[in-house]
């Protein structure tokens, strides 16, 4: 990653407006049709959560704003994207695992399985925040929730997604997700486009 001059980027106005705002985070909610992911997960014996993380990374890689992030009082530019997942570890607690995004689904799946297993066994976080712009995720897959709003710590400005249990109705399976982002990094239109891209990736994966 490298520091960039905000005034020389498309985020100049947003940097001035939102960088020092007391609450610069915005949260969107969207209900996704994940029927195709459920089908592929069962047919190919792939983890549903891995497929979600892949679609998130794939969608984010198409939007240039995801390659910039406010860190401290600086605007940083990255060459890579990673998707974070929370892992239940051997100590009965949770650890954090960053998965580097790869356009190849099989490679991403291999990395996901290898890294999450390593983190679960070692109880040591796998952190790529100095190399990649990391999208955080938290899957509360056992719980039926309608949505969740992440907290703003003032330290981590990374975009973050949360979801619970998917729901079946008639011939569709749906999943409500929340997406929190720092307004310096992107505007509402970018966030809405990102969520639309996730849905498109789910349909065509």
Instruction: State pTM to two decimals.
Output: 0.95
SS3 88: strand
User: Helix 35-44 vs helix 48-60: angle between axes, to the nearest 10 degrees?
Assistant: 120
pLDDT tens-digit map of 28-76: 999 999 999 999 999 999 999 999 999 999 999 999 999 999 999 999 9
pLDDT tens-digit map of 17-27: 999 898 999 99
CATH class of 25-204: alpha beta
Cβ-count burial of 175 within 10 angstroms (0-12 exposed, 13-18 middle, 19+ buried)?
A: buried
| Domain range list for the chain | 25-204
The answer to whether residue 154 scores a pLDDT higher than 80 is: no
Pairing relationship of beta strands 160-163 and 133-139 according to DSSP bridges: parallel
């Amino acid at each position: 990653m490298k520091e960039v001059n905000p005034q020389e980027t498309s985020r100049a106005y947003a940097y001035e407006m939102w960088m020092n705002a007391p609450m610069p985070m915005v949260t969107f909610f969207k209900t996704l049709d994940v029927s195709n992911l459920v089908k592929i997960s069962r047919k190919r014996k792939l983890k549903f959560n891995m497929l979600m993380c892949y679609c998130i990374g794939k969608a984010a890689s198409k939007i240039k704003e995801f390659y910039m992030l406010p860190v401290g009082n600086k605007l940083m530019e990255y060459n890579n994207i990673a998707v974070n997942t929370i892992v239940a570890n051997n100590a009965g607690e949770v650890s954090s695992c960053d998965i580097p995004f790869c356009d190849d689904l099989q490679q991403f799946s291999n990395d996901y399985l290898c890294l999450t297993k390593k983190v679960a066994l070692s109880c040591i976080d796998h952190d790529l925040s100095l190399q990649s712009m990391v999208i955080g995720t938290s899957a509360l897959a056992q719980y039926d929730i309608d949505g969740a709003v992440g907290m703003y710590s003032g330290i981590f400005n990374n975009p973050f997604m949360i979801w619970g249990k998917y729901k079946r109705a008639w011939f569709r399976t749906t999943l409500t997700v929340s997406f929190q982002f720092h307004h310096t990094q992107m505007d509402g239109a970018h966030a809405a486009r990102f969520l639309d891209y996730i849905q498109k990736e789910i349909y065509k994966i």
